[in-house]
Structure formats: structure tokens, C-alpha cells
């Protein structure tokens, strides 16, 4: 039996760095939102024990098919000590190094798909333990039932929230690959710009939500990667000043009341950036309404 899951991408609606913990990691607080855009993870029971993984799709180039892939590692951890095997297929529709959480979402979706394909019982606690060992934001993609949650600590402390309003989102991912390590390394709390006050985005309309977007990592990312700074200028020229970087980059997102408004803004942004390299991703999407969604 095979089972297919949408590994929903995410954006950070607001990302505030609070300081650095004793373990050396930055402490943050960020409401995250899952998107209808995502990779597709398919799991099928295999006669061979263990995990096999194949990758295809428009953003598959350079994505590993072995234990270096988070989806492979998650499924392998789930099956450790068991005789079952699973064949995973990952269709990459989300670019890597984009700040959209593609790899982390794939890991959570691989657990959901593997359990379903092999007839295993649900065990959120075990899944969270596996995902926590793989990365800071992976737990969001397992626990945020509505696709909206407040994440704290390194991102591993997830408090699910009610859904946001009926939004449309414009997404642009430039060619630049933003290094998370480099962006965090360039951040200093002393030089960080003030963010809008923290609010609950639950049920909020897109126009009101715009006023509360913010990201402490945007300024260091723009300073490190000239192409991101050029896109920031193009977005401002297009009248989309509220657009924000998600995560440590490299994607920008903006909020609108309708798909038509979001598409018009995207067209204007691309026109203003016509002298720049074409982006890896340019699309309009909506909130997913969940994470690791069975298809």
C-alpha cells in the first residue's frame, strides 16, 4: 500500500531573536505558518528492510537520496530495530536554502507517510523525539495541527494556534542560497532593529497582519547577500514594502486579501526586478490549514 503526503512549506510571520542560550544557540520566538505550496512525499511498503529514497521534481537537483536527506533519516529512525522496509519518493516543489523549511517538512511528512504505508499506529511523542534530533523547526511540521503555531527556544517548543484569516501570499525565492549559519553569525542583538510588537495572528485579516510582520535576520541577510538586497529594493519599488524575508532567507513573502491582488503584486515585482537573475520560485499560494497533510 502506498500513501502520499503534502510536506507543506512555511513562512515565519515574525522572527524575533531574544538572545543566545548557554548551549550557544540563539533563542527565538516566531509564529510560523504552513503553506499550500509543498513537496510531495510518497511511502510504499517494501520487501527489503530499511529505507530507500528517490527524488524528482523541478527542485530535485542536488537533493541527496541517502541518509543525508532528512526524510530518509526520519524514516530510518522510525524503523530502527524493526523488520519492515519502506520505499520513499520525494517530489521537490520547494527549493532548498529558501527559508521555507522544505527539508524539515519532508522529514515530518516521511514519518506520517511511513506510518500509514506500513499500518503503524500514530505516536506523536515518538515522532517529536525523532524530529527534535534532526533540526530545530522540524517539530512544527508535526505538531501544528492548524498549520499555525508559535515556536520558541530554537524553534522546537511548539504551541499550536488557531488558523489565520483568508490570506493569499506572494512568494519569491531569488537565486541566492542564504547560509543559515552565516546569517545567524552576522546577527547582533545590539544592532537589531526594533520589530513591531508581538501579536496573535489568529483569525487576523491580511491587511492588518501586514503591520505586524518582522524578521531580525533580514538585515544581516541583506548585508551578506547583495542579490537579496537588490530584490529588497525591487519589492520596495513595486510598492510591496511590507514584504519580509522568511527565516534566514532566501525567500520573500507578502500578504494580500485575494489571489488576484497577490498575482498583480507578483507581476509588478518581477517587472521591477527584470534586470536581476530570474528567481528560483515565484508564485502565489495560500495557508495550508495544516501540516503533513495526507493527499
Q: Which residues are catalytic?
A: 10, 137
Nearest Cα residue to 56 out of 42, 70, 44: 42
Start-to-end Cα distance in the chain: 14
Amino acid at each position: 500500500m502506498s500513501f502520499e503526503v503534502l510536506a507543506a512549506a512555511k513562512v515565519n510571520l515574525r522572527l524575533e531573536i531574544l538572545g543566545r542560550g548557554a548551549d550557544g544557540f540563539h533563542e527565538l520566538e516566531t509564529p510560523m505558518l504552513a503553506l499550500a505550496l509543498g513537496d510531495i512525499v510518497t511511502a510504499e511498503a517494501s520487501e527489503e528492510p530499511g529505507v530507500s529514497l528517490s527524488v524528482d521534481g523541478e527542485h530535485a537537483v542536488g537533493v541527496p537520496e541517502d541518509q543525508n536527506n532528512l526524510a530518509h533519516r526520519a524514516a530510518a529512525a522510525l524503523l530502527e530495530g524493526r523488520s519492515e522496509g519502506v520505499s520513499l519518493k520525494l517530489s521537490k516543489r520547494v527549493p532548498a536554502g529558501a527559508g521555507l523549511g522544505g527539508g524539515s517538512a519532508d522529514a515530518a511528512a516521511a514519518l506520517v507517510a511511513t506510518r500509514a504505508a506500513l499500518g503503524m499506529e500514530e505516536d506523536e511523542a515518538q515522532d517529536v523525539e525523532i524530529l527534535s534530533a534532526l533540526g530545530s523547526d522540524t517539530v512544527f511540521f508535526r505538531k501544528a495541527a492548524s498549520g499555525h503555531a508559535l515556536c520558541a527556544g530554537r524553534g522546537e517548543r511548539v504551541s499550536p494556534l488557531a488558523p489565520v484569516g483568508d490570506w493569499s501570499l506572494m512568494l519569491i525565492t531569488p537565486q541566492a542560497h542564504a547560509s543559515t549559519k552565516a546569517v545567524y553569525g552576522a546577527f547582533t542583538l545590539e544592532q537589531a532593529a526594533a520589530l513591531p510588537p508581538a501579536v496573535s495572528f489568529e483569525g487576523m485579516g491580511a491587511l492588518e497582519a501586514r503591520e505586524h510582520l518582522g524578521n531580525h535576520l533580514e538585515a544581516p541577510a541583506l548585508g551578506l547577500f547583495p542579490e537579496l538586497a537588490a530584490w529588497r529594493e525591487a519589492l520596495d519599488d513595486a510598492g510591496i514594502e511590507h514584504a519580509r524575508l522568511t527565516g534566514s532567507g532566501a525567500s520573500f513573502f507578502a500578504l494580500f486579501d485575494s489571489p488576484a491582488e497577490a498575482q498583480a503584486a507578483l507581476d509588478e515585482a518581477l517587472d521591477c526586478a527584470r534586470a536581476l537573475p530570474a528567481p528560483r520560485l515565484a508564485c502565489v499560494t495560500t495557508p495550508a490549514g495544516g501540516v503533513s497533510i495526507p493527499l
